[in-house]
A and B are shown apart, each in its own frame.
Chain A
Amino acid sequence: MADGKVSDFTQFREGVVDNNPVLVQLLGMCPALAVSNTLENAIVMGGAATFVVVMSNLVTSLLRHQIKPHVRILIFTLTISTFVTIADLFLRAHLFDVSRKLGPFVPLIIVNCMIISRAEVVAIRNGLKRSLADAFGIGVGFTLALSVVGVIREILGSGTLLNYPVTPAAFEPHLWIIMVLPPGAFLTLGVIIGIVNYVRQRDRKGGAA
């Protein structure tokens, strides 16, 4: 995946589609399940994680010749936790209401293996351009996956989208209360991953449906 032949754009697209962190790699599942009950939460969470993965890949790639192999995990963790803290402070200062809803899940980006895996797999052995393309791809892919889950859960569970009512009056969101609760996250994500896998397998067989 990280060999010299693929273009930076391919690296970006990999993260969004073929190697989507949530839907294909099944990484970053904790925030994908926990804060995808509304689209707003999903977008803000995706934005924060994108910022962190970009900064982490940036620092790792710039320092890749200085980092001694056996202290690399320590350095990744140090970098990631610094930028997660900055993202958390920024949200508390500028998006106070959303940051209260996200609660501990922004600080928990620190332990999101999706981010450390990009440092370990890509940034430590690639130049700046490639590492940034990869980080943006992963960030966008993560945000899109969370948003898809968020749209489905918010419409069915609350009858709203970005807090605006979107369903007809006859629709009773409280019958779908499970979509707001944790099981709704598992059901939605499970169905989406199932669809993604079905499509991928079909494509691999040469498009014969």
Chain B
Amino acid sequence: MKKFVEESWLVLVMGIGFALLLAGTQAALQGRIHENQREATRQAIAEVLPGVATTEQREVEGYQVYEGFDDQGRLLGWVIEGSGTGFVDRITLVVGLDVDKTRITGVKVTSNVETPGLGNKIEDAAWIGQFEGLDAERRVDITMAAPDRDDNKVQAITGATLSSVYTADIVNAILDTVRPKLEAP
């Protein structure tokens, strides 16, 4: 026992010291880290549901749903956050839905690690903006040709068809699962 303490006291002391240091750092910074994450969510909501002033968060079928209200307190629509399999790893995105639940007001990818320069174009406004205004009551499909808006289609990214398909799959899954359960509060 004496030998054990002699040999290892420094490891024990350092372990305790470093644990306290880490706990202190975590306590000092976690408020800001959470604030950063909340701010990122707020920005994403504002982008997919223009005009939103306040939100009310609840959970529907395992998805985070934000009811969005304008500055008069009237219901503007919903923003639903969901994630699913991507080409590389999971993709997380938010879908905005208008108050009638018939039209997609916007989609924004909030987290992805798709291939840089190819698959990660799913986060570019130029591509993801295609979802804006699509019919929320039908499936969104991916097409290789020039998109036909009447068929509720979005054109795939050249060289990243699968990332495009997976993104649309997540949007469709959110619409299928959550949309029928939404009710004006």
Contact = CB atoms under 8 A, between A and B. Distances in A.
Nearest to B14: A78
Interface in B1-29: 7-8, 10-11, 14-15, 18, 21-22, 25-26, 29
Given A66-B10, A103-B113, A180-B117, A96 B18 contact: no
B47 to A, nearest CB: 15
B33 interface: yes
Contacts of B117: 157-158, 174, 177, 180-181
A201 interface: no
Interface string B111-129: 1010111100000000000
Contacts of B11: 71, 74-75, 78
B60 interface: no
A92 B29 contact: yes
Contacts of B36: 92-93, 96
Given A78-B15, A181-B115, A90 B7 contact: no
Interface in B120-170: none
Nearest to B35: A93
B29 A71 contact: no
A134 to B, nearest CB: 21
B182 interface: no
A68 B22 contact: no
B22 A86 contact: yes
Interface residues of A, number: 28
Interface residues of B, number: 23
Interface string A153-189: 0000110000000000000001001001100000000
Interface in A85-120: 85-86, 89-90, 92-94, 96, 100, 103
A79 interface: yes
B26 A89 contact: yes
A174 B21 CA distance: 46
A95 to B, nearest CB: 10
B32 interface: yes
Nearest to B115: A181
Interface in B29-43: 29-30, 32-33, 36, 40
Contact of B33 (A79, A86, A93): A93
Interface of B: 7-8, 10-11, 14-15, 18, 21-22, 25-26, 29-30, 32-33, 36, 40, 111, 113, 115-118
27 contacts: A66-B10, A67-B10, A68-B10, A70-B7, A71-B7, A71-B11, A75-B10, A75-B11, A75-B14, A78-B15, A82-B18, A82-B21, A85-B22, A86-B21, A86-B22, A86-B25, A93-B29, A93-B32, A93-B33, A96-B40, A100-B111, A103-B113, A158-B117, A180-B116, A181-B115, A181-B116, A181-B117
